[in-house]
Each structure stands twice: as C-alpha cells, then as structure tokens.
Chain A
C-alpha cells in the first residue's frame, strides 16, 4: 500500500509539474508567436488591404497570388492572412464577397482548410467547417456534404451553417433531407441556420416545407415566416388545414410573422381546434394579423378552459384596433376567468398605455381606466 501511495504521489507530482511546464512553455511560445505575428501583421495586413481595396476595379495579378500563396505555406504568416481574410468576409458584403472567395481559392486558403476536414480531431473539423462557411467557396460543397452523416453535434451544426452561407440551393436541400428528427440540434438552431441561408430562399422553402419529416418541414415553414415574403403565403396556408399539429402551428406562426391577413378566417376556425397548443397559437397570431373579424372570436376565447389560450386571446384582443371596446362587456359578464385575464393584460405597460390612449380618444363614460380600477379594487376587497 505504501508503495502505491508513494508511486501515485510521484506520478501525480510529475503530472502537475508537466502541466505547469506545459503552461510555461505554451505561454512562452504564445509570446514568441505573437511577437512574430506582430512583426508580420503590419506588412501583410497592409499588403492585403491594398489588394482588397482594389478588388472591385482590377484583377489580382499572378505575382500577388504567388506572394500570398507563399504566406499560406508559412505557419505564422498564414494565421495573419487567414485572420485578415475572415475579417473581410465578416465585414464586406455584396459583389466584393465573390471576389474575396476567388482570392481565397487562388492563394490556397480553401485548400488548406479542406485538408483539415479529413483530420480525426473533431474540433479541427468543426473549426474548418466554420471557416469554409465564412469563405463561401462552392468548391467545398461535396466534402461538406460527406460530413453530414457524422454523429457529432458541433460538426453537424457547422456543416449546415457553412452550407447556408455558401448558399447552394441543391446542396442545402440535400443536407436537410439527410437529417432526421433524431438530430440532436435544437429547433431554434436549425431555424437560425435556415434563416442564414444565402441562396434562393424561396426555392429552398418550396422544396423543404413539403417533406414528410414534420420536424424539418416545420423548421422551414417557420423560417419562411421569418423571411416575410408573402409569395409563399398560399403554400404555407395549406398547412392550416392538415392534421399534423406541428406543421399547423408552424404555419400559423409563419403567417403571423408575415402579417398576411388573408388567412384570418382559417386561423379563427383554429380557435376551436381540439389541441390547446393550436388554439393558443391561433389566439396569439390573430393579434399579429390585426383583423377586426377576430375581435368576437377572441372575446369568446377568453373563456377557453386552457390558461395559455385565454392569456394569448386577451393580449391579442387588447392589441387589435377596436378590441379594447370589448373590455366593458367582458367586465360586465359572468366569466371570472375572462375578467381576470383581460385585467391582467390591461395592467401591463402595454395594456395600460392602450387604456389611457382609449380614454383620451373616446368620450365613453365611465372611463375605461375607472372601470378597470373599480374591478381590481373590488377584487382586492
């Protein structure tokens, strides 16, 4: 036993010492590298800046490409070039972006990142995917697609995001068709990827909203809503009438985001859907669509058995022009739940502003603010 303790202490002391040495060596190396980098930084950055500033006017020369390719072969110089290039990609949009991509391809930067995709270290692969996405070279589409089957969440995310930035329609569609519901990425991250797509979004949405997988389909329906192009509204409205709850909810959210109020009636009918989640979203979306036709159905929805439906209906009712008129009737009614929920909304910052505005613009007596206050006082008693 004593030998085990002795050996373990020796081993662990060596480990700690090794860790400490590693730390010191790494810090020294970083210091050395940064010093060298700083030396190269000014000359390389200004050389690149000079080339990039003239990219719109003249083509890059063979000599310039050779010089930059030489930099790419040198470890520290390559880091400087890559950092600078990624900075351009992040900040320069429009036609210059394509020229930057071509430049990155010609100097061998894309090739260098592509090599990293075959490494075993998944951190290196994920980082390379991110860089390749930023560079937006179409040359890397196939290698990226080959990675989509790797069961690693960071790689999957970065591959999809890279494909979104590259913006190739068919590749993006193919990548998402390969995914299944079991993909570990959250819905929000996938919607973010779909929103970030830089190709023909309408084409992609038309291809992916109809696929059988409800998870992927819903993501693209929602993303289409975020895109706010009403040319897709008819196609999205089709999902209001189908059985699938997820797609129905996604379609309502999308139409609400688009603000296209041609579909108010079918959404109103969903206020009586058997699923409470559908009813709650219908109530919320009707507020976004701002249609007078929704006032009476929303007032009825204040008596729904589900709290969220009542809450969303009350919010929407207060937001719709003319909806606040109904508060008098609601407070005179018998339904305590309806009264409580509408008063709770009127007491929020937004709701109370609406009450004050209403009192200022109408001569109705007693004032709405008085009615609400009276109700809360009676309730408190």
Chain B
C-alpha cells in the first residue's frame, strides 16, 4: 500500500475520533444546560410541595423496601437498623439473603431475634426456591427471606413476591437512606398517577461521619480515589440523570435506590435474571412495554440527596465496579436493540437508546483509540499541531468544564459541601480527574466490553467496611 494512502487513512481516522470526542462532550454540555433548568424547576417546586403534610397522612402510599443481600455480613445489620428507623408512616423492610456464603443470614437472624415462619408466597414472578421466611413478632415490619442463590435480580423478584405494598423500592445492602428519603421518593407517585418508577440521587458517604446508620456530618474523603468518584457522581447524577429526566428519557434508575409501582414491575416480568445490570434493564423494559402498548407513564428522577453509598477506595474494586456497569449497560442495550432509532419508541428510541449505543457503549473504545492514536500520529507528524490541540481541548478542557459545571450545580442547589475549602478541593479534583482517572475508568470499561460474554451473569462484589465511624 502506498505510504501516503496509509497516512491519509490514519489522518481521516484521527479526524473521526476528534469529531466523535467533540460531539460527545457537546452532548454532555447540552445535558448540563437542561439539568440546570430542571434543577431550578425542582428547587422552586419544593417551596410549594405538600410533602410534609403527607408524612402524617393516612393517604400516604405504603412502601416495601427490598434489600437484596449477598455476602453482606459487614454492613447488613446496621443497614437494616437505619432502614427501620426511617421517617415514614407505613413501610416494611424485606431483606433477601440470596444464598450468601458468609454469615449474612445468621447475623440478621441473631441481631433481630428472628424465627422462621410459614408465610405462603405468591410467585407472581418466577424465582429460585425460597428456603425460609423469618420474622420477629415485635418487629412486624421486618421480613427476612432466605433463598437459593439466583443473582440480585432474582433476589429482588423474590422480594416483590413477598411484599405487601403497592410501591417497592430497591436499595443496596451497603447504602444509607436519608430519614425522609421515602417521603421524597414517593411524592412523584402521589402527584402523578402515571408515575411508574422514580430514581433518587446517590451520594458518596466516604469521608462523612456516619452514626447509627445516619450520615450526621457530611465531608469530603481523604482517599483520592473516592474524591474523584464524588466529582464523577455529581456529574453523572446532577447533569446526566437530571438532564435525561428533563426530556423524559431516563434510562437508568440506580440499583442503589429506586422505587417502582409493583403492578408495573410485575407486568413486565420483574427484574431480568442473568444480567448484572438489572436496574437499567428494568427501566428499559418498562419504557419498551409502556410505549409499545401506548399506555401513558412517567419515569422520574428526584435530585434530592437521598441515598448514600460507599465508593470503592481500592483500584481493584473500582475496576470490578466499572466492568460490571459496562457489562450491564451492554447487556440491556443488546436485549432491547429493536428500540434503536425506532420511532415507535419516541424519544427513548430516537434519542436515549442511540446515545447509549453510540456514546456510552462504544465510547470507551473510541476514546482509548484516540488517546493512543492521536498523540502517536502527532509525534509521527501525520497530524498537525492544530488538530492535536483540538483533540486535547475537546477531551480534556471540555471534561474540566463539565466537572466544574456539575460542582457549581451542586453548590447552587443542595450545597452539601458548603465551605470554601470544600469547594476548592472539589474544583481541584474536577480538574485533575481529567489527567489519569478518567482514562483509567475508560480502560476498566473496555475490560468490561472484552469480558462481556463471560461475566454478564455474575453478582459483582466490592469489599466494603462498616459505615459507622
């Protein structure tokens, strides 16, 4: 092949990458703008919301909180205690032990003095066998379900089968809810009868002081890795989710905290088994089903900081987490490929699904090729300085601007990190995360793509420590 032709191909390919990186960042920016308006709307709405009135009302919708647990002996007991102390008129906590190999089951039984009961279960969604249901007559709103291992989705489905109330909310066993989080997450169901699912914002608790299952003093962590993730979460939730919510095209409700109308979840067959991205899968399934049968519905996102989780502080755990997220995303997109650019599915088929295919699924590959190919082409003098700088500004400068934008949104709205020191620290990490951390998570996501076929059915785990400090 002629060397000049090869140069031409490499050059064209470089241009494609540059345009791609520019477009994706441009979309992020649009999200930031939409999110700003949406958040402003939400903040203003709180002023006339009647949610406090409903805290003491008989007309509040009772909720079943589902807590799937697999080898969670470190945190499960304190997590249940904090859930039982939530401020809500009527709710039940259903802990589903998904065949844990550690002491999860015994720890819960012992801590809450539970005994096995013969509660019949209505299998409205097919699940693996339930080995036993445990209760304590003095804690009537706690139910422990012990079942054969079947994965997180199977555990959640078992919880739905056992639940008694019309709205179910799933929460990870390692998360902490704010005391009035249930009231906030249920309000969209009260306000609009077409609401079928609500997602809440997830914040990182590393660095904050946690006492008896409550975040009592919010602060930033010492761990650099956790700091990067705080900035990343702010960007993902305050711009990403809020932005998608503003055009009614939310595709992900975090598994760490989401609420669903039980009848809607059952109608679509509950959580999909054999996937590790069951949270996204359920939402995409709900969109597809309700749009197909042309029934009005709403999937909402509330930006209040309602749920706290532990971010991995070890690279190994972060790597596992990002791999899982990528695999979950791909699995769901493959399962619903018929929605891709399909006008029948309105903004979901025409905007959200194509975006996730083109930018979230393939994105890491393009990005990493860019990081390798473009500097190489520049040093080999195939690409001129102008385009090289263009690439750097598109990927790095844009990234910095987006992170700073998300931090400003946080300061403007919920202001959980109010001191100047915290603002400076966050901003600093918003800048430096673009030089190494972002690229590292991209590599982890690529790993997820590579291991997709092998790992798409596994329950991923992160080593977590007890919350209480």
Render A345-356 as a binary contact track against B, CB cut-off 8 A, 1 for contact. 001111011000
Given A1-B18, A1-B390, A191-B59, does the pair A344, B120 have CB atoms closer than 8 Å?
A: yes
- Would you call A2 and B386 a contact (CB within 8 A)? yes
Let me know if B397 and A9 touch, CB within 8 A: yes
User: By the criterion CB–CB under 8 Å, are A5 and B22 in contact?
Assistant: yes
Chain A: minimal CB distance from B32 (Å): 8
Interface string of B7-39 (1 = CB under 8 A from A): 000000001001100100010010001001000
Give the residues in chain A near B393, CB-CB below 8 Å: 5-6, 9
Q: In the complex the two chains form, what is the Cα distance from A191 to B58 in whole Å?
A: 10
Q: Which A residues are in CB contact (< 8 Å) with B41?
A: 123
User: Is A67's beta carbon under 8 Å from chain B?
Assistant: no
Secondary structure call for the B interface = helix
Cβ of A127 within 8 Å of any chain B Cβ, yes or no, is yes
> B residues 127-153 with Cβ under 8 Å of A?
135-138, 140
Is the pair A23, B59 in contact by a Cβ cutoff of 8 Å? Answer: no
> Measured between alpha carbons, how far is A130 from B193 in the docked complex, in Å?
21
Interface stretch (choices B80-88, B281-289, B403-411, B447-455): B403-411
Bound CA–CA A188/B190 (angstroms): 6
Q: Decide yes or no whether B47 CB sits under 8 A from chain A.
A: yes
Within B379-422, which residues are at the interface with A (CB < 8 Å)? 386-387, 390, 393-394, 397-398, 401, 404-405, 408-409, 411-412
Q: Say yes or no for A47: interface residue by CB 8 A criterion.
A: no
1/0 contact trace for A318-343 toward B, CB 8 Å? Answer: 00000000000000000000001101
> Quick one: closest B residue to A349, CB to CB?
B137
Interface segment out of the listed B49-57, B318-326, B354-362, B363-371? B49-57
Q: Is the CB of B390 within 8 A of A2?
A: yes
Asked if residues B401 and A307 are in contact (CB atoms below 8 Å), the reply is no
Q: Are B140 and A349 interface neighbours, CB within 8 A?
A: yes
Chain A residues contacting B409 (CB-CB under 8 Å) are 19
Q: Which residues of A (11-46) have their CB < 8 Å from a CB of B?
A: 12-13, 15-16, 19-20, 22-23, 26
Of the residues A9, A126, A184, contact of B193 by C-beta under 8 Å: A184
Contact, CB under 8 Å: A350 / B140? yes
Name the residue among B48, B57, B404, B409 with the largest chain A CB count within 10 angstroms: B48
Flag if A8 contacts B18 (CB, 8 Å).
Answer: no
Within 8 A of B (CB), among A152-182: 153-154, 157-158, 161
Q: Bound state CA distance, A338 and B265, in angstroms?
A: 28
Contacting residue for B390 out of A5, A20, A130, A352, CB 8 A: A5
Does residue B44 face the partner (Cβ distance < 8 Å to A)?
Answer: yes
> Is A23 a contact of B193 with CB atoms below 8 Å?
no
> Across the interface, do B191 and A16 meet the contact criterion of CB distance under 8 Å?
no
Rounded to whole Å, the gap between the CB of A272 and the closest CB of chain B is 22
Is the pair A195, B122 in contact by a Cβ cutoff of 8 Å?
no
Q: Is B469 an interface residue (CB 8 A)?
A: no
CB within 8 A of A154: which of B18, B45, B118? Answer: B45
Is B60 at the interface (CB under 8 A from chain A)?
yes
Partner of A157 from the list B191, B195, B394, B401 (CB cut-off 8 Å) is B191
B189 CB, nearest partner CB in chain A, Å: 6
Flag whether B192 is at the interface (Cβ < 8 A): yes
For B166, give the chain A residue with the smallest CB separation. A188
Given A123-B41, A192-B53, CB of A12 within 8 Å of CB of B390: no
- Indicate whether B117 reaches chain A with its CB closer than 8 angstroms: yes
Q: Among the listed B59, B135, B387, which residue makes an inter-chain contact with A189, where contact means beta carbons less than 8 Å apart?
A: B59
B404 and A16 within 8 A (CB) = yes
With an 8 A cutoff between CB atoms, is A361 at the interface? Answer: no
Determine whether A226 belongs to the interface, using a CB cutoff of 8 Å to chain B: yes
* A18 smallest CB distance to B (angstroms): 10
Please give, as numbers and ranges, the residues of chain B lying within 8 Å of A157 by CB-CB distance: 50, 191
User: Which residue of chain A has the shortest Cβ distance to B53 in the bound complex?
Assistant: A192
Given contacts A9-B393, A154-B45, A192-B53, contact A19 B405 (CB under 8 A): yes
Which of chain A's residues have a CB closer than 8 A to the CB of B50? 130, 157, 161
Residues of B within 8 Å of A191, CB to CB, are 59
Contact B48 A154 (CB under 8 A): yes
Residue of B137, B190, B405 touching A16 (CB-CB under 8 A) = B405
> Quick check: is A91 within 8 A (CB to CB) of the other chain?
no
Q: Interface size on A (CB < 8 Å)? A: 50
Is A231 part of the binding interface, using a Cβ–Cβ cutoff of 8 Å? no
Q: Does A269 count as interface, using CB distance less than 8 angstroms? A: no
A370 contacts the other chain (CB 8 A):
no
Task: Report Cα–Cα, A239/B195, bound state, in Å.
Answer: 30
Given contacts A2-B386, A19-B412, A379-B118, contact A348 B193 (CB under 8 A): no
A185 interfacial contact with B, CB 8 Å: yes
Q: Mark B113-126, 1 if CB is under 8 A from A, else 0.
A: 00001111010000
B329 within 8 A of A: no
B138→A20 contact, CB < 8 A: no
Q: How far, in Å, is A28 (CB) from chain B's closest CB?
A: 14
Contact with B along A114-138 (1 / 0, CB 8 A): 0000000001001101100000000
Contact A5 B191 (CB under 8 A): no
Residue of B with least CB distance to A310:
B120
Contact among B48, B119, B189, B194 with A126 in the assembled complex (CB-CB below 8 Å): B48
A38 CB, min distance to chain B CBs, angstroms: 19
* Distance, CA A187 to CA B261, complexed state (A): 14
CB–CB B398/A9 < 8 A: yes
Identify A127's interface contact among B47, B61, B387, CB under 8 A: B47
Most chain A CB atoms below 10 A, which of B118, B190, B405, B409 = B118
**Could you tell me if A189 and B29 are in contact, using CB atoms closer than 8 angstroms?**
no
Which of chain B's residues have a CB closer than 8 A to the CB of A6? 393
Q: Which residues of A contact B405 (CB under 8 A)?
A: 15-16, 19
User: Is the C-beta of A362 less than 8 angstroms from some C-beta in chain B?
Assistant: no
Chain B CB within 8 A of A300 CB:
no
A376 within 8 A of B: yes
Given known A349-B135, A353-B137, contact A12–B408 (CB-CB < 8 A): no
Asked whether A186 lies within 8 Å of B192 as measured between CB atoms, the reply is yes
- B194 close to A184 (CB less than 8 A): yes
Contacts of B190 in A (CB 8 A): 186, 188-189
In the assembled complex, the Cα of A185 lies from the Cα of B137 at a distance in Å of: 37
Query: Which residue, of A157, A185, A189, A379, has the highest number of chain B Cβ atoms within 10 A?
Result: A189
A348 touches B412 (CB 8 A): no
**Least CB separation from B298: chain A residue:** A184
List of B residues within 8 angstroms of A130 by Cβ: 48, 50
Contacts of B33 in A (CB 8 A): 15
In the complex, chain B residues whose CB is within 8 Å of the CB of A187? 193
Residues of B within 8 A of A16 (CB): 401, 404-405, 408
**Residues of chain A contacted by B140 (CB below 8 angstroms):** 348-350
Q: Are B401 and A12 in contact (CB under 8 A)?
A: yes
With both beta carbons as reference points, the residue of chain B lying nearest to A351 in the complex is identified as B137
Given contacts A186-B192, A192-B57, A192-B59, contact A347 B45 (CB under 8 A): no
In whole angstroms, what is the CA distance A192 to B401 when docked? Answer: 45
Q: Other than the known A185-B192, A380-B118, what 8 A-B pairs have Cβ atoms closer than 8 Å?
A: A8-B22, A130-B48, A158-B48, A192-B59, A347-B117, A348-B137, A353-B137, A379-B118
**Nearest 5 CB-CB pairings of A with B:** A349-B137, A347-B117, A186-B193, A123-B44, A192-B59
Q: Could you list some 15 contacts between A and B, CB below 8 A?
A: A1-B15, A5-B393, A9-B393, A15-B33, A16-B405, A123-B48, A130-B48, A157-B191, A184-B192, A189-B190, A192-B54, A192-B57, A307-B120, A347-B118, A349-B136
